[in-house]
Amino acid sequence: MTVPVLSHLRALEAESIHILRETASQFRKPVLLYSIGKDSSCLVHLARKAFFPGKIPFPLLHIDTTYEYPEMIEFRDRFTKEIGADLRVYTNDKAIQEGANPYDLGTAKCCHLLRTRGLVEGLQEGGYDAAIGGARRDEEKSRAKERVFSFRDREGRWDPRNQRPELWNLYNGKVDPGESIRVFPLSNWTEMDIWRYIELEAIPIVPLYFAQPRQVVLRGPTVIPLETNVKLLPGEKPQTVTCRMRSLGCTPCSGAIRSEADTIGKIIDELAAFRRSERENRVIDHDQDGSMELKKREGYF
Amino acid sequence: MAAITDNRTIALTHFTVSNRDEKPLLRISTAGSVDDGKSTLIGRLLFDTKTVWEDNLEEISKSKVNRASHGLDLSLLTDGLRAEREQGITIDVAYRYFSTPKRQFIVADTPGHEQYTRNMATGASTCDLAIILLDARKGVLEQSRRHSRIAWLLGVRHLVFAVNKMDLVDFSHEVFDEIRAHATHLLSGMDGVIADFIPLSALDGDNVVTRSERTPWYKGPSLLELLETVDPPHVAAAQPFRMSVQMVIRPHLDFRGYAGQLASGWVRVGDPIVALPSGKRSRVKRIVTFDGDLTEAFAPMSITLELEDELDIARGDLLASPSTAPRVARRLHTTMVWMSEVPLDKQKTYLLQHGTRVVPARLNGEALALNGIGAVEVETAELLPYDTYRDNRATGGFILIDTITNLTLASGLIEGEVREEEETLESFSDAPFTPAERRKIRALLAHMKRFGFSFDHEDFEQGEGI
């Protein structure tokens, strides 16, 4: 008998579905962290597949920093409604009332308050014991170290030097009250796999990923789309550039790339020719050496 | 939901053919002693296959640490933690992804320090092939021996011995042959192992991606050529059907589906199946996926099975074909790799996780300590369907979890069952428990019951011991 081989994308899909089902079964109150980006879109799509013909058995949680692109919020509300998902939104209102913003505090501190603390508090408020995220190991080198089921203490902190062993596909989700597990079903996907899967499955994504002429300001090597909340620095002039986002984050911290790619097919071709990483345009990853690891230890995704 | 009554059937090619120039995947791990140059080798593979982003290269060229005598310190590409870069060692496994025109690769770069052997095991457990690095000046060390054995125990059947730092022994043919003979000796007793030997220099790139002119006596492929051409990993679809039930999907009264990922084999509509350990039987009515119904499915697909009969099947049950069903036992001979600072304790009750089933278990055998490997007898609180790990990597392995700390303590490989006449383990309920242990186990049993685990072993649940 000739033994067929599952295609690479279907093998990744099957692995992710297995992880999502383990999460739904092993935890009392899991939640899917929904960031609205392309990886989150794939994650939600996989969750729909995992529990079919049932519904996704956990809510989607968006940590809204209030510095998101308006297109993202519009997409979030429409998409989650279409698929009948249970969307929850959490904002660190206290920090914002106390004046947290990237212009006065700097991006590192702002990110800590609005994303990291927002996330930790959002998870605590909901009493969630598992948080599913779309992080991939190929994104960044401290993420390359993460387990699929990654333990967090009561403060949401990661101890990278002392992770639980993880053998085969046997995931240990045992935690005591207050502790939690971050679950990464897309651990083994690469940026290219994500785009090929979006193409294969025709998964809806935020229009910001597609190239079109946009009003931007050029800040050093970074192309910053002019959206609400982006303040011009002295001497900066808006101009029109055909560009798109390769990775989505807050408006003041995510740069666009010059690109003509206005279809998924063109994005894949463009990606194959890229020589620079996806997170290069994320200002917060480069605050200092080992930036992402430090943020992750504090509770960032 | 309209979709539930929609029995649209899709072809299996939906899962076997994808959209664009897709390449087969090989999962590999690297292991070896500290300072053998594992991270440098992976850095070299990534660099020479042009997988490294330019901004990452710029970043490591700016890094305060550089251990390379000349040029870039390629080990910095994989050592992702600050402590690792500062100390120049690898603490935990890092996963790297690269592809060539022929194949895609996932590389698990695992630590060499004995202290971090459990992280090495984590990396090796999901791999098809392991590269064991040897330092040409030092030959086969205790750590190389341990890593080869662990990789083999965890189911990795193809070992590639990369004799590194050949530049420091003048690319000596004699040195290489000596090490090869020594390493070959180490493989005796490892059934079914395939071994290759390559002389290389990760620092300079000899025989990593391209064949080196400095080893004219070596006629074999470069490391990358070998990785691109080795036989694909053993195909789980060729083995008997096994599927652990992850959950019961029951959106309404007319549908009850058993969701899981095929661990091995095939399943077709109409096939007889047996649920273990209960032994209840039925037939497959539908194979349901989000994309449509299938008439057949194979490992490692994730599916949902609807059966002809309403059976009491729950998470933890193992579905198999009655003609090729696994054996069921409560007492097993196993080999364990111990991964905790706290040694094996025969007085304690552990949790054993096998597939999706979690059962209390007690141990008898060597007092294994951190990184120890040895024979351990296991007695579980309820029947466990099992294969030996030689027969089936997926249903022959388990992990042990501490009931108090929740930590994963050990990985286990099932060798076979203990026959009736072998009297070794004392009974469960005689064992003394501390009050804290009793509370914990009670809470645990209640918790597990809520999630659909069944406990047939009344003594354990209500007995004096707890």
- pLDDT tens per residue, range A128-176: 999 999 999 988 878 888 999 999 998 888 888 889 999 999 999 999 9
Nearest CA in chain A to B128: A168
Beta bridge partners of B260: B303
pLDDT at A68 over 50: yes
**A48 and A134 together in one domain:** yes
What is the distance of C-alpha B462 from the center of its chain?
36
Neighbouring CB atoms inside 10 A of B149's CB total: 17
Query: Does A65 fall in a domain?
Result: yes
Give the tens place of pLDDT for each residue, B217-274: 999 999 999 999 998 766 677 899 999 999 999 999 999 999 999 999 999 999 999 9
**A119 and A16 together in one domain:** yes
Beta bridge partners of B288: B293, B304
Chain A segment 155-214 residues within 8 A of B by beta carbon are 160-161, 163-170, 172, 174-176, 187-188, 190, 196, 199-200
Convert A12-34 to b/e letters by CB count within 10 Å (16 or more is b). bbbbbbbbbbbbbbbbeebbbbb
Q: Which of B53, B78, B232 is opposite residue A275, by nearest beta carbon?
A: B53
Neighbouring CB atoms inside 10 A of B185's CB total: 9
Q: How many CA atoms lie within 13 A of B79 on its CB side?
A: 27
Spatial distance between the Cα atoms of B146 and B32, rounded to a whole number of angstroms: 9
Is A172 within 8 Å of B261 when comparing Cβ atoms?
no
Radius of gyration of chain A (CA): 19
Determine the pLDDT at residue B426: 43
Give the tens place of pLDDT for each residue, B36-54: 788 788 888 888 887 777 7
Query: Does A2 fall in a domain?
Result: no
pLDDT at B191 over 80: yes
Q: Which of A6, A15, A138 is opposite residue B15, by nearest beta carbon?
A: A6
Written as one string, the DSSP assignment of B60-93 is HHH-S----SSS--GGGGT--SHHHHHHT---S-
**A129 and A30 together in one domain:** yes
**B30 and B12 together in one domain:** no
**B142 and B255 together in one domain:** no
**B222 and B80 together in one domain:** yes
**B87 and B222 together in one domain:** yes
**A118 and A249 together in one domain:** no
**A47 and A141 together in one domain:** yes
| Mean pLDDT calculated for residue range B320-345 | 95
| Mean pLDDT calculated for residue range B281-296 | 97
**B273 and B345 together in one domain:** no
Is A147 within 8 Å of B122 when comparing Cβ atoms?
yes
Determine the pLDDT at residue A35: 94
Mean pLDDT of chain A: 89
**B75 and B95 together in one domain:** yes
Cβ pair B351, B384 in contact under 8 A:
no
Determine the pLDDT at residue B366: 86
**B166 and B182 together in one domain:** yes
Band of pLDDT at residue B155, cut at 50, 70 and 90: confident
Peptide bond connecting B300 to the previous residue in cis, omega within 30 degrees of 0? yes
Is B397 within 8 Å of A168 when comparing Cβ atoms?
yes
Q: How far is B350 from chain A (nearest CA, A)?
A: 13
pLDDT at B422 over 70: no
Token reading at B176: 């290489």
pLDDT at A20 over 60: yes
| Domain CATH for B51 | 3.40.50.300
**A187 and A216 together in one domain:** no
In this prediction, what percent of chain A has a pLDDT beyond 90? 58
pLDDT winner (highest mean) among A230-234, B78-82, B259-263, B429-433? B259-263
Q: How far is A181 from chain B (nearest CA, A)?
A: 12
Determine the pLDDT at residue A269: 92
Q: Which of B91, B122, B290 is opposite residue A52, by nearest beta carbon?
A: B290
B16 and chain A: CB distance < 8 Å anywhere?
A: yes
Domain boundary residue, one of B229, B264, B293: B229
| Least confident stretch, A91-95, A268-272, B454-458, B460-464 | B460-464
Q: Which residue has the higher pLDDT, B349 or A226?
A: B349
Question: What is the number of domains present in chain A?
Answer: 2
pLDDT at A223 over 90: no
Query: Does A3 fall in a domain?
Result: no
Determine the pLDDT at residue B440: 63
Give the tens place of pLDDT for each residue, B106-128: 999 888 887 788 888 899 999 99
Band of pLDDT at residue B437, cut at 50, 70 and 90: low
Domain range for A122 is: 8-196+290-298
Band of pLDDT at residue B105, cut at 50, 70 and 90: very high
Chain A segment 217-256 residues within 8 A of B by beta carbon are none
Determine the pLDDT at residue A105: 84
| Least confident stretch, A243-247, B223-227, B382-386, B398-402 | A243-247
Task: Provide CB contacts within 8 A for B380, sequence distance 6+.
Answer: B330, B331, B332, B352, B359, B360, B361
Question: What is the number of domains present in chain B?
Answer: 3
Determine the pLDDT at residue B21: 62
**A85 and A122 together in one domain:** yes
Is A160 within 8 Å of B91 when comparing Cβ atoms?
yes
Q: Which parts of B81-147 are beta strand (E)?
A: 94-99, 104-109, 129-135
Determine the pLDDT at residue B72: 66
Spatial distance between the Cα atoms of B300 and B261, rounded to a whole number of angstroms: 6
Q: ipTM score here?
A: 0.91
| Domain CATH for B344 | 2.40.30.10
| Mean pLDDT calculated for residue range A53-74 | 94
Closest to A16 (Cα-Cα) out of A204, A196, A247, A183:
A183
**B192 and B263 together in one domain:** no
**B49 and B164 together in one domain:** yes
Residue with tokens 């965890």: B154
| Mean pLDDT calculated for residue range A85-92 | 95
Task: Report the SS3 class of residue A227.
Answer: coil
**A140 and A210 together in one domain:** no
Q: How far is B187 from chain A (nearest CA, A)?
A: 23
Domain range for B29 is: 25-229
Neighbouring CB atoms inside 10 A of B217's CB total: 11
Determine the pLDDT at residue B164: 95
B369 and chain A: CB distance < 8 Å anywhere?
A: no
**A189 and A210 together in one domain:** no
φ/ψ of residue B225, rounded to 5: -60, -40
Question: In chain B, what residues touch A15 (CB-CB under 8 Å)?
Answer: 261, 300, 302
pLDDT at A296 over 80: no
Determine the pLDDT at residue B48: 81
Spatial distance between the Cα atoms of B263 and B357, rounded to a whole number of angstroms: 14
Question: In chain A, what residues touch B451 (CB-CB under 8 Å)?
Answer: 25-26
| Domain CATH for A96 | 3.40.50.620
Token reading at B314: 């729950």
Determine the pLDDT at residue A143: 86
Query: Does A1 fall in a domain?
Result: no
| Mean pLDDT calculated for residue range A67-93 | 94
Determine the pLDDT at residue B18: 64
| Mean pLDDT calculated for residue range B294-305 | 96
**B209 and B175 together in one domain:** yes
